[in-house]
Amino acid sequence: MRRSLGIFLALLIAAALLPVLPVTAAPGQFAGVTVNVLTFTGPQIAEPLQRRGPAFGRLTGAKINVVTVPFSDLYQKILTDMATGTNSFHVFVFAPQWMADYVTPGYLEDLTPRVNADTALQWNDIGTFFRDFSATYGGRIYTIPLDGDFQMVYYRTDVLQRQGLQPPRTWEDYLRIAAATHKKDLNGDGRADFGSCIAKKRNAQSYWMVWSVAGNFLQAKGTSEGSFFDVDSMKPLVNNDAFAEALRIYVETGKYGPPDELNWDVGDSRGGFTSGRCALTLDWGDIGTLAIDPKTSKVKNKVGAVIIPGTRRVLDRKTGKLVACSSSTCPHAVGGINHSPFAAFGGWSGGINKAAPAKVKEAAYAFLSYMSQPAQANADVTIGITGFNPYRVSQFRNTALWVKAGMSQAAARNYLGAIEASLRSPNMVLDLRIPQNQRYEQVVLDTAIAKLLAKEINIQQAMKEIFDGWEAITNELGRDKQLAAYRATLGVKR
């Protein structure tokens, strides 16, 4: 009895002392901090986060916990996590296009002071567009760019060469090339192939593809001019000759495409292009790395990229008509052609939950900065599986990394040259980023385009449907509020 009492007392004292005993300290300033990162089920985007998390942990002692949800639910999950106060995540890797719905209610942490004090990040190495527009909202920085999303046109160098065609500079060129290459056998398998493959499936990526065409006609005076609405009246810019012409071109590309193009999403169009069945395609940067992967590609080193084809006629906003490009109407034209590369979706970036504990926020920022720093980022953008596309100036200067990944020197120079031309363009189109932009784009715009492509309505009706739909949403949410938000998303303040 005495002995067991003694043992019991000893255990009790030991248990009491346990918290006081010195714990083996982990190296680094964030020892014991766990950062929960939410993004979508990859491997794209999630893989580099998961791969580099442990390395970051060794440097700083923080534990990076990457959680993934299906892509189509990411927007919802982020919003409901913050809006309902659940706050189980500290870092979100998402598309800046969604920022409007997260910043307006005040859910995201303002990163401006941290970025300004961070030299390792090399903020000025990041492309101007991503720095000043994508990561910024209302003049404050809310995200760290990890990826550069903008669209380019890709073409088969061998096919164009065979037919003596030059890469397209305008959309009329694009249609001409598509017509000339349609129904020819482009990959040697005996089947007729297609001139142009664009992801036109409803509720997938079609509403970005159409804007890659339309933006060129609608915006010529620089990013701040905006392409969706008039900056003074908030009237949608979809009821005019320029948008009609863009729709006409978009519908006509279907003449030179696969018969079931209406059901092709970006997986099908990329698959079609890399298996050699398409002469032209419109896509984000992934084709560059997908084309050199032997598991997916039959067109290695036969792929060229070019800045989005432009137009020689742009919209005159006062009259609603198309006018020829001149130095006053198209100040940024190259060779008389106005190009407006569309930064569709914005480029995956990391944002921080404002409601996270202070120490976790510090660790979270350090992790995002780590991921974006050239030492890590420049390697990741050359690896296809990461899903990261170039967004830093230093990334498209150095062809060595790309050659190491498997591209030929010529292909690398061509690919990076197209990226550079796009990134350096002062006329990049910023994706719509006002509150509830999903309803504008995914509900109204996408449905109208789907019906137009299905020939349920004609171009005039489609334009009217988009106009009416957008006006209804704007009026419902408050015209002045939406206008202020639209202006804020296009403005730059430091």
Partner 1 sequence: MAQAFAATRPRAARRLRSPYSPSPSGAVLSYAVLGFWAIVVLFPIFWIFVTSFKLPIHVLDGPVYLPFIDFQPSGHAWRYIFVDLRNDTLRPFINTVVVALTSSVLALALGTAAAYGLLRFPYRPRLGAILLLLGAAGLAAVAVAAGVPWVPAVLAAAILFLVLRRWAGQRIGRSFGNDDIAFWMISQRILPPVAVVIPIYVMFQRLHLLDTQLALIITYMTVNLPIVVWLMRDYFRQISIELEESAAIDGASPFRIFLSIVLPLSTPGLVATFLLVLVFSWNEYLLALFLTSANAQTLPLSIAAQNATRGPQWWYMSVLILIMITPVIAMAIALERYIARGLLVGAIKG
Partner 2 sequence: MLKVRARSGAGPVGPVPLLRVGGAGTWMERQARSLFLMPAVAMLVALSIFPLCVSLYLSLTRLQFVPGGFRLPFVGLANYRKLIFGIERVHFLGVLAALSPLFWLLFAVVATGLLVFVIRSLRAPESGARGLAGRVFFAAVAGLLVWLLLRALTPGGRPGSLFVTLIYVIVGIAVQYWLGLALAFLASQDLAGRRFFRVVFLLPMMITPVGIAYTFRILFDLGKGPFAPLWQALGLAEVSWVNFPWGARAAVMIGDIWQWTPFMFIVLLAALESLPAELLEAAQVDGASRWQMFWKVMWPQILPVSSTVILIRLIEAFKIIDLPNVLTNGGPGTATESLTLHAFMAWRTLDIGGSAAVAYMLMFLVTFSATAYISFVHRRVAEAA
Is residue 374 part of the contact set for partner 1 (CB under 8 A)? no
Member of 63, 200, 270, 312 binding partner 1 (CB under 8 A): 270
Is residue 64 within 8 A of residue 35, CB to CB? The reply is yes
Is residue 157 within 8 A of residue 304, CB to CB? The reply is yes
260 binds, among partner 2, partner 1, none (CB under 5 to 8 A by kind): partner 2
The amino acid occupying position 395 is Q
Q: What value, to the nearest 5°, has the Cα angle with vertex 190 and ends 188 and 195?
A: 70
- 54-73 residues near partner 1, rule: CB under 8 A: 67-73
Is residue 239 part of the contact set for partner 2 (CB under 8 A)? no
Nearest to partner 2 of 19, 259 (CB atom)? 259
Nearest to partner 1 of 97, 136 (CB atom)? 97
| β-pairing verdict for 278-283 and 194-197 | parallel
Per-residue CA distances from 476 to 12, 203, 226, 326, 480 (Å): 65, 23, 22, 39, 11
458 binds, among partner 2, partner 1, none (CB under 5 to 8 A by kind): none
Q: Name the residue among 338, 309, 301 with its Cα closest to residue 414.
A: 301
Lay out the site mask for partner 2 across 65-94 (x = CB under 8 A, - = otherwise). Answer: -------x--xx--x---x-----------
Count of beta carbons in the 10 Å neighbourhood of residue 296 = 15
Is residue 130 within 8 A of residue 391, CB to CB? The reply is yes
Is residue 203 part of the contact set for partner 2 (CB under 8 A)? yes
Look at the alpha carbons of 169, 174, 176, 180 in this order and tell me if their dihedral is positive or negative. positive
Is residue 93 within 8 A of residue 349, CB to CB? The reply is yes
Extract the tokens encoding 365: 């920022």
258 binds, among partner 1, partner 2, none (CB under 5 to 8 A by kind): partner 2
Is residue 286 part of the contact set for partner 1 (CB under 8 A)? yes
With tokens 């900056």, the residue in question is: 231
Nearest to partner 1 of 37, 473 (CB atom)? 37
In whole angstroms, give the CA distance from residue 127 to residue 142: 16
Shortest distance, CB of residue 466 to partner 1, whole angstroms?
25
469 binds, among partner 1, partner 2, none (CB under 5 to 8 A by kind): partner 2
262 binds, among partner 2, partner 1, none (CB under 5 to 8 A by kind): partner 2
Cβ within 8 Å of residue 250, ≥6 positions away: 209, 210, 213, 214, 449
Member of 201, 302, 313, 392 binding partner 2 (CB under 8 A): 201
Q: What value, to the nearest 5°, has the Cα angle with vertex 193 and ends 189 and 197?
A: 135
Lay out the site mask for partner 2 across 259-288 (x = CB under 8 A, - = otherwise). Answer: xx-xx----x--xx----x-----------
Backbone torsion region of residue 347, taken as left when φ is above 0, otherwise alpha when ψ lies between -120 and 50, otherwise beta: left
Is residue 221 part of the contact set for partner 2 (CB under 8 A)? no
Nearest to partner 2 of 101, 380 (CB atom)? 101
Determine whether 468 is exposed, middle or buried from the number of CB atoms within 10 Å of its CB (0-12, 13-18, 19+): middle
In whole angstroms, give the CA distance from residue 75 to residue 346: 14
Which secondary structure element, helix H or strand E, spans residue 314, and what is its range?
A: strand 313-316
Stretch that binds partner 2, among 97-105, 228-236, 302-310, 412-420 (CB under 8 A): 97-105
Per-residue CA distances from 15 to 6, 12, 25, 113 (Å): 14, 5, 20, 44
Member of 184, 298, 451, 479 binding partner 1 (CB under 8 A): 298
Is residue 454 part of the contact set for partner 2 (CB under 8 A)? yes
Is residue 302 part of the contact set for partner 1 (CB under 8 A)? no
Note the residues at the interface with partner 1 (CB under 8 A).
Answer: 38, 40-42, 44-45, 67-73, 77, 80-81, 84, 86, 88, 187, 189, 191, 265-268, 270-272, 274-277, 286, 295-298, 387
Note the residues at the interface with partner 2 (CB under 8 A).
Answer: 72, 75-76, 79, 83, 101, 104-106, 191-192, 201-204, 258-260, 262-263, 268, 271-272, 277, 435-436, 438-439, 442-443, 447, 450-451, 453-454, 456, 468-469, 472, 476-477
